Amino acid sequence: MPKFDELLRQGEAAKLMEDRQALQDVMDAPETRQLMAMLQQSVGGDLEGAARSAMNGSPQALMDAMRKLMDSQEGAQVAQAVKRKLKRS
Query: Residue ranges per domain, the chain?
Result: 4-88
Nearest to 50 by CA among 67, 68, 64: 64
- The pTM is what? 0.67
| Buried/exposed code over 46-82 (b: 16+ C-beta within 10 A; e: otherwise) | ebeebbebbbeeebebbeebbeebeeeeebeebbebb
Cα of 66 vs its chain's centroid, Å: 8
**pLDDT tens for the 89 residues of the chain, in order:** 556 566 566 667 777 777 788 888 888 999 999 988 988 888 888 888 988 888 888 889 888 988 988 999 999 899 889 888 877 76
Q: Which amino acid is at 31?
A: E
